């Protein structure tokens, strides 16, 4: 408890318990979201007391549930209200806010997924960074995995945000073992895809290149593509062969958990002068400036009782 607020470290909501402090939130061991990773989720950021692109995150969450044949007992308006209330109760001005739909559990002895009662969970905790702000000033060492490929789209749809992270986690360990800080996985055709929780961009001849397939269509990724167009920067959303990384002058990764995070080394090769590049820094600044733009933000009323 901080300053008398039991939700100060985070607030969660579950069907069973309603709003509870984050440490008291529970999930049934019988929930297929836990036992089978049969789950989808979405994460929206709160910055300066405002949600960033909340409606787009809700749109994607609904699409993901539809593709997984999930139906919740709460509708979109109720979900939005729960997210607001989780943040309001926590008092957090910068928060990482998660909405989760799980397959849930079946009737006694059942195994057919269409008979399961789907469950909704939500929580707000202090904002998370894939790369801490101080480390961003130095830039990350991105490693392209050699021993691990991304799960094919035909097996797991990457546009549905999911917890099928076996390949991503294996790639992260490979990056760690090779002296890197973050990893990106290739696909079976030798094209770049994504890393654990982030999209990747290369800057080649002053233009942005980011993979078109095998990736989550991240909202931060979309924001950067839109901002790049506004800034007159060329963009290419297309297959990016692994070999193209050798031509990159700059690189960065994007995620709701951290925004635009500079990369200054790829597979041991220093990019440019070894400092975050000018295009990367320009887009990073534009991204954070956008968090005060009313077209993309939804204020939170912390005074509601």
Low-confidence ranges of the chain (pLDDT < 70): 1-2, 305
pLDDT value, residue 27: 93
pLDDT value, residue 2: 60
The pair phi, psi for residue 187, each rounded to 5°, is: -95, -175
What residue ranges define each of the domains in the chain, with the CATH number in brackets? 11-126 (3.30.470.10), 133-291 (3.20.10.10)
Quickly tell me which residue has 């960033």 as its tokens.
52
pLDDT value, residue 106: 85
Q: What is the pTM of this model?
A: 0.95
């Amino acid at each position: 408890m901080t300053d008398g607020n039991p939700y100060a470290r985070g607030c969660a909501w579950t069907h069973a318990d309603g709003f509870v402090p984050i440490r008291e939130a529970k999930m049934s061991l019988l929930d297929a979201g836990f036992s089978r990773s049969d789950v989808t989720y979405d994460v929206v950021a709160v910055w300066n007391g405002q949600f960033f692109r909340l409606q787009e995150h809700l749109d994607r969450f609904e699409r993901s549930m539809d593709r997984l044949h999930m139906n919740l007992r709460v509708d979109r308006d109720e979900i939005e209200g729960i997210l607001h209330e989780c943040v309001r109760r926590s008092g957090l001005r910068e928060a990482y806010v998660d909405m989760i739909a799980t397959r849930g559990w079946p009737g006694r002895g059942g195994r057919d997924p269409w008979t399961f009662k789907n469950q909704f969970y939500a929580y707000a905790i202090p904002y998370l960074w894939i790369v801490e702000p101080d480390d961003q000033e130095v830039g990350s060492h991105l490693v392209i995995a050699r021993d691990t490929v991304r799960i094919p789209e035909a097996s797991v749809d990457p546009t549905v945000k999911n917890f099928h992270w076996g390949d991503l986690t294996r790639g992260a360990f490979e990056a760690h073992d090779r002296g890197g800080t973050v990893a990106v996985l290739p696909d079976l055709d030798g094209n770049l895809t994504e890393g654990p929780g982030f999209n990747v961009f290369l800057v080649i001849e002053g233009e942005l290149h980011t993979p078109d397939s095998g990736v989550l269509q991240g909202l931060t990724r979309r924001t950067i593509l839109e901002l790049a167009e506004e800034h007159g920067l060329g963009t290419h959303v297309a297959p990016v062969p692994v070999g193209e990384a050798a031509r990159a002058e700059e690189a960065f990764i994007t995620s709701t958990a951290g925004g635009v995070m500079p990369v200054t080394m790829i597979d041991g090769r220093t990019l440019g002068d070894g400092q975050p590049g000018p295009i990367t820094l320009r887009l990073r600044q534009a991204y954070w400036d956008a968090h005060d733009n009313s077209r993309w933000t939804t204020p939170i009323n912390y005074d509601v009782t």
